[in-house]
Structure 1
Amino acid sequence: MSRLADQPVAEEGHVLRRDFKFLSSFAFAFAFISPIVALYGIFGLALTTAGPSFWWGFLIVFAGQMLVALVFAMLVSRWPLEGSIYQWSSRLLGPAFGWFAGWAYIWTLVIAMATVALGAAGFIANIAGIEEPSGTDRAWIAFVILLLGTAVNLAGHTVLKVFMIASIVAEVIGSVGLGLWLIIFHRVNDFSVLFEGRAGTGTEVDYLAISGPFLVALAFIGFSFVGFESAGSIAEEVKEPRTNLPKAILFSISFIAVIVMFTSLSIILAIPDLDAVASGEVGDPVYETLTTQLGEGIAVPLEILFVIGFLASFLALQTSASRLIWAAARDGALPAAKVLTRLSRTQRQPVGALLITTIIGTVLFLLSNVATDIYTLMVNFTAGGFYLSFLFPLIGFVVVLARNQWKPGVFSIGRATLPVAVVALIWATLQFINIAWPRAVYEQVYLDWSIIIGTAVIGVVGAAVYRSVRGAIPNVVGVEYRMLDESPVPEVRRR
């Protein structure tokens, strides 16, 4: 049975400006994991691990993630509230379950934000003429990116929307344009290479073993298709969210999948020497292929395109993290809740939450500069952290369906709901295990266990924080909300 509120949150002044429409929410989810970031981040790793045949992994991961996206689209159509995964999990299985979902997602977003900023710093350094930037150089550039990103977020929705939409235009033109040019004028490999492993070396390996090349490549590819859920992170800032957000989630993952798969295919077919890539002689096959086929003159424009993609992704990550922190603090679920729920007067931006992401990001930059292993730990945890966060609402949704307690929202897939939810949960579980599996990759054994170690540390610290705030967290299981002045207001009853 759904319940109504005793005290609407709107009376406390916690209402955001509803300025985003479908295109803006789609652009936000698209920018979160941009095609440029997704492609550049995993292409070289997957190609050297499994050879050109890794490309088929895109289809597998996309199919699994589309099932997850369908579940999230149903959840957001019923509960379009700021904080997405935290809100859905809380309403499905209770405050403790939802709190730990939000805690895992907060740290995933903040750590991903820091790693993306450091990634962008490397390209900016190259554009500025610093050929081999030191850790200190990258940390300082990343810090400037963090400050500028915070300023853009505080400036309000208009600036954010313009940047996001502009980044989509640049990335689509750049990715699709380069892909078409390569596949039409610079294809040197036959399509048959897509069925070759280890770049055609003929190495005999068990591709489906837990440490086999193909499953390792699937773990890398998993990073390419996350971020679609971020449209729900800004749900209370989107007009007609019950209809616009499900479309934004499904369209963004589909659009990104098409672009990433097409661009990857075009680069594979244009690589001059696949064996050189397999042997490790070519450290960056994307950059090497583009500069070889299109000339050295493409280097700077290409790096500028990379920077645009990374900056857009950084902004979306910081925005998502700040909204999630703000939403949790609004429920009293975080320490210093009054500070973290503070909104700017004119733009209604969560100032306190944005500043805390800036502080945490700065600390992570300092740590990465002191110890390179910290940066490796951050990068490794990011992909696993997303799938860990996904598991919370997926588990909650399957449990509620099994109890026959689910009430569909505007978006529904009818009788297919239960089988889709079950397969989505199985997929996310297997992919998390695949990503977190401690394969022997690094000289330092603890780096092979980085996702498991990171999860354990965040869990232990989270348990201590939760104990300090649990008395203030509302019980919102089965609770609906009503629209108040076009702003979704959670209807809660305190325990």
Structure 2
Amino acid sequence: MSATENEAQTAPGTAQFRASGRTAGPASSTEDAELLAALGYEQKFDRKVSLWANFALGFVYLSPLVGVVSLFAVGLATAGGPAIFWIGLVGIGQFLVALVFGEVVSQFPLAGGLYQWVRRLWNGRYAWFTAWTYICCITIGITSTALFSSDFVASLFGGTADQPGISSTPAERLWIALGMTVFCLICNCFGTRTLALISKIGLAAELIGIVLVGFYLLIFERHNSVSIFLETSSSTHDHYFGAFIAASLVGLFLFYGFEACGEIAEEVPNPARSIPRAMQLTVAVGGLAAVFAFIGYALAAPDLPAILSGEDSNPIPSILQSSIGTVGTKLVLLVTLTSFVAGVMSQQAAASRIVFSFARDNMFPGARLFSRISRRHRVPLNALLAVNIAPVLLFVFVYYSPDSLTKIAAFQMLAGYAAFMMVVLAALRMRLKGWRPAGAWTLGRWGIVVNVAALGYGLLGMVLLAWPTGDSATAFVDRWIALIGFLVVSAVGLVYLLTAKPERNSTAPEGDALEVAERLRSRAALITSTTGGTNA
């Protein structure tokens, strides 16, 4: 019996791929295409995203520079300097989640990430709800990132030496967010190569904005003592414990986006090995960069009491103006704006790939339309356009309700953590059923321990995100807005899921994680035996 015939028995899809006469795309290796075929899909994307480009994509999605400049004032006003510790605490927890994701994506390096993972780890219905939750999260992520950029754009083009940090008006915020979204959408339409290039530019911009500016602030512009990171006082809470818990948003809002590395798995060469590494690098390097930036800005703040009291809600431009002057401030704001562009682009790309993957399995309304790939640039153009409709509508909503931006962001993070924990829970469930990850990267005997720890951390994070904000004078809906928003979106998804039953129409390849793991092990053993171990 020939090697190809043997492989047809152990890895259905691989032999069919070869027999069909299809060849991998111009930037795709035969091995990657055969692994994809073994998982039941045909290679359609070009694999042009290298390990470093994939890391850059996750890094600019997480964007420590954007996260710190957006949350710096909120953290200090809520709990003072010790708010910085949440970056480390959340970073450790999310690194555990990234390790679990790494094992799963190594076995299932498929476009659409979370949806594809949980479909194999649980079932189609569970996968549909996970994907619904996650798509809502990313859609609002596009909205909040574009809107948060407005003050920095306003400061870049309208700030003065006397008033470097200015807040955009509702009308300016609307037009800036629209312009940002449309520009990023156009760039994304030019394909994976453009996405990878801008991700790398964004990574370089982030590192310049954090490392060079951070070092300068720490060495030449220190106005405050490092003791501020140990001073436990708050002007917004009667008891410091409550203030410190409220400041958890500094870390919880910052550490997400590493999963985007897996959303474009079918555009990455050797994804089973490179994507887990990219995820881990995203969390580790992003966390260290965020801590460094937070320390630099806090120690260089010329009027720290104004930030702690909440009087100065946009202090970064003022800190830069007093430290590096008008020209330097404009350059750093330009770098920050580059990071915003890369961040929005990566969110659009991640959302479009999960919609494409959803539609490819006939699990999404208009599946035939959204599963199409453009011929020239090899992108899911219709899906890319679709994921930007809701952000545009939300821009208009925020225009008429300017105070709703933070409420939208609160729901976004709770939905994101819920989707993450659905993956972690599904992985733990499958482990207890005997699943041993069969990808090129695994945790080995530590898998179950890390999985349980990641689930515990994630559930704690969800509790903190759902916890009521404000005080007794704050309206009930405003205090519980994150949880209420999450429950409403979940209810809508469940109603559709239970009435339309989209999983019944699924054309997805069969086989759960256990079956696929054995199939991949058999495939690996076959390759080893036919090549003498050189490709093991």
> After superposition, where does 1:427-446 map in structure 2 within 5 Å?
427-440=457-470, 443-446=474-477
Q: CA deviation at 1:412?
A: 1.2
Q: CA deviation at 1:477?
A: 2.4
> For 1:64 and 1:240, how far apart are their aligned partners in 2?
27
Q: CA deviation at 1:219?
A: 2.6
> For 1:461 and 1:286, how far apart are their aligned partners in 2?
39
Q: Which has the higher contact order (CA 8 A, sep 6+)?
A: 1
Q: CA deviation at 1:448?
A: 1.9
Which of 118, 121, 128 does residue 99 from structure 1 map onto?
Answer: 128
Which of 381, 387, 405 does residue 375 from structure 1 map onto?
Answer: 405
Which of 448, 454, 460 does residue 479 from structure 2 map onto?
Answer: 448
> For 1:454 and 1:155, how far apart are their aligned partners in 2?
35
> 1:77·1:245 contact (CA, 8 Å) conserved in 2?
yes
> 1:42·1:221 contact (CA, 8 Å) conserved in 2?
no
> For 2:170 and 2:306, how far apart are their aligned partners in 1?
28
Q: CA deviation at 1:312?
A: 0.8
> For 1:444 and 1:136, how far apart are their aligned partners in 2?
26
Aligned to 1:43: 72
> For 1:179 and 1:303, how far apart are their aligned partners in 2?
14
- Residue 22 of structure 2 corresponds to residue 22 of structure 1: no
| Secondary structure of the structure 2 residue equivalent to 1:347 | coil
Q: CA deviation at 1:361?
A: 2.0
> For 1:445 and 1:307, how far apart are their aligned partners in 2?
36
Aligned to 1:492: none
> For 1:57 and 1:269, how far apart are their aligned partners in 2?
18
> After superposition, where does 1:313-352 map in structure 2 within 5 Å?
313-352=343-382
Aligned to 2:503: 470
Which of 241, 253, 258 does residue 223 from structure 1 map onto?
Answer: 253
> 1:219·1:431 contact (CA, 8 Å) conserved in 2?
no
> 1:37·1:310 contact (CA, 8 Å) conserved in 2?
yes
| Secondary structure of the structure 2 residue equivalent to 1:224 | coil
Q: In structure 2, give the amino acid aligned to 1:205.
A: H
| Residue deviations 1:98-126 (CA, integer Å, cap 9, x gap) | 11111111010011101111122332233
| Secondary structure of the structure 1 residue equivalent to 2:180 | helix
- Residue 150 of structure 2 corresponds to residue 121 of structure 1: yes
Aligned to 2:104: 75
Residues 300 and 393 of structure 1: is their aligned pair in 2 closer, same or farther, counting only changes over 3 Å? same
Which of 140, 160, 170 does residue 195 from structure 2 map onto?
Answer: 160
Which of 200, 208, 222 does residue 173 from structure 1 map onto?
Answer: 208
Per the normalisation by structure 2, the TM-score is: 0.84
Q: In structure 2, give the amino acid aligned to 1:236.
A: E
| Secondary structure of the structure 2 residue equivalent to 1:20 | coil
Residues 5 and 103 of structure 1: is their aligned pair in 2 closer, same or farther, counting only changes over 3 Å? farther
> For 1:107 and 1:49, how far apart are their aligned partners in 2?
28
Q: CA deviation at 1:19?
A: 1.3
> For 2:116 and 2:305, how far apart are their aligned partners in 1?
49
Which has the higher Rg, Structure 1 or Structure 2?
2
| Secondary structure of the structure 1 residue equivalent to 2:140 | helix
Q: CA deviation at 1:457?
A: 1.8
Which of 140, 144, 168 does residue 133 from structure 1 map onto?
Answer: 168
Aligned to 2:90: 61
| Residue deviations 1:445-488 (CA, integer Å, cap 9, x gap) | 312222212211211221233232231124552353999xxxxx
Residues 410 and 327 of structure 1: is their aligned pair in 2 closer, same or farther, counting only changes over 3 Å? same
Residues 294 and 328 of structure 1: is their aligned pair in 2 closer, same or farther, counting only changes over 3 Å? same
Residues 161 and 95 of structure 1: is their aligned pair in 2 closer, same or farther, counting only changes over 3 Å? same
> For 2:412 and 2:218, how far apart are their aligned partners in 1?
32
- Residue 490 of structure 2 corresponds to residue 459 of structure 1: yes
> For 2:187 and 2:195, how far apart are their aligned partners in 1?
6
> For 2:337 and 2:92, how far apart are their aligned partners in 1?
29
Which of 331, 334, 342 does residue 301 from structure 1 map onto?
Answer: 331
Aligned residues: 477
- Residue 185 of structure 2 corresponds to residue 150 of structure 1: yes
- Residue 440 of structure 2 corresponds to residue 410 of structure 1: yes
> For 1:450 and 1:37, how far apart are their aligned partners in 2?
24
Q: CA deviation at 1:311?
A: 1.0
> After superposition, where does 1:143-292 map in structure 2 within 5 Å?
143-198=178-233, 205-207=239-241, 212-292=242-322
Q: CA deviation at 1:4?
A: 4.5
Q: In structure 2, give the amino acid aligned to 1:244.
A: S
Q: In structure 2, give the amino acid aligned to 1:120.
A: S
| Secondary structure of the structure 2 residue equivalent to 1:198 | coil
> For 2:284 and 2:170, how far apart are their aligned partners in 1?
36
| Structure 1: gaps (5+ residues) | 484-495
Q: In structure 2, give the amino acid aligned to 1:284.
A: N
Q: CA deviation at 1:44?
A: 1.2
- Residue 431 of structure 2 corresponds to residue 401 of structure 1: yes
> For 1:203 and 1:453, how far apart are their aligned partners in 2?
23
| Secondary structure of the structure 1 residue equivalent to 2:376 | coil
Q: In structure 1, give the amino acid aligned to 2:503.
A: R
> For 2:307 and 2:407, how far apart are their aligned partners in 1?
25
The farther-off stretch of 301-310 and 12-21 is: 12-21
Aligned to 1:486: none
Q: CA deviation at 1:143?
A: 1.5
Q: In structure 2, give the amino acid aligned to 1:472.
A: N
Residues 403 and 330 of structure 1: is their aligned pair in 2 closer, same or farther, counting only changes over 3 Å? same
> For 2:481 and 2:237, how far apart are their aligned partners in 1?
29
CA RMSD in angstroms, aligned pairs only = 2.5
The farther-off stretch of 293-302 and 413-422 is: 293-302
The farther-off stretch of 342-351 and 359-368 is: 359-368
Q: CA deviation at 1:444?
A: 3.4
Aligned to 1:366: 396
> 2:150·2:177 contact (CA, 8 Å) conserved in 1?
yes
Q: In structure 2, give the amino acid aligned to 1:330.
A: R
> For 2:494 and 2:12, how far apart are their aligned partners in 1?
30
Q: CA deviation at 1:81?
A: 0.7
- Residue 513 of structure 2 corresponds to residue 480 of structure 1: no
Q: CA deviation at 1:159?
A: 1.7
Q: CA deviation at 1:293?
A: 2.6
